[in-house]
Copies of this chain bind each other. A is one copy, B any other.
Amino acid sequence: MKYKHVIKVLTERIQNNIYQYGKKMPTVRELAQEFGVSVMTIKKALDYLTQYGLIEKRQGSGIYVKMNSNKINPHIPLLGNSARFPKEELKTKVIVFDVVHPSKDVAEQLQINEDDFVYKIERIRILDGKPLIMEHVYMPINVIPGLTKEIIENSIYTYIQKDLNLKITSSNFTITGVRPDNDDKKYLNLTDTDFLMQIKQTVYLSDGTAFEYSIDKHLPSEFSYEAIETRND
């Protein structure tokens, strides 16, 4: 994993201002020599740094350090909501914890049959006594076995990764703005004039299994999503 080492070292240098914002970094060939690796390996590392928005490559010119944005607690699809807040402060209230047959929509998203079984979970996430997020989660019971009330009162993602030893690798999600439904109003203390930021997502494990289909609705005061898009053609 030489390219990961390169990524790590270069990221540190940028964060420590050894390579400064707006300035040129060493050339690809210089870096290859310094790290004692081939040019292709350096380029692979630089591709990741570009994707993360740390640098910018300009053909014929050089590699430049970009602005490092200071992200304040944004929504990060693959981490789950627990990871966004200090552990002690985020409380969870479980509203529904059942095993049911999936609806047609859920079955399709999870690529299972309608006569299979899924956990149906509804939780509220509470910060400082204020309910912030309404979560509706569906997981196939034979992909994520052994869920308990205690687990879902804490972090399902921690259970999946630490206890079941599964790897969460990708997520397909959509962000929209919606009005609260009756449950949202009830549990988040909202009225018809309020609104919510909704994320619908399907999340996958490293073997390609869809293990979660969920709809999270966030109070807008707590929600932001930040990203970088790059074109390459």
Chain A stretch 170-204: residues in CB contact (< 8 A) with chain B: 170-178, 192-193, 195-197, 204
Chain A residues with a Cβ closer than 8 Å to the other chain, count: 48
A228 touches B (CB below 8 Å): yes
Residues of B within 8 A of A177 (CB): 177, 195-197, 220, 223
A233 touches B (CB below 8 Å): yes
Q: What is the distance, in angstroms, from A74's C-beta to the closest C-beta of chain B?
A: 8
A168 touches B (CB below 8 Å): yes
Say which residue of B171, B196, B232 sits within 8 Å of A229 (CB atoms).
Answer: B171
Residues of B within 8 A of A4 (CB): 233
Give 5 closest A-B pairs by Cβ, nearest first: A177-B220, A193-B193, A195-B195, A77-B229, A175-B225
Give me 16 A-to-B residue pairs in the complex whose CB atoms sit less than 8 angstroms apart, sorted by A's number.
Answer: A4-B233, A22-B111, A69-B172, A168-B231, A170-B229, A170-B230, A172-B226, A173-B226, A173-B227, A175-B224, A176-B220, A176-B224, A177-B220, A192-B193, A195-B220, A225-B225
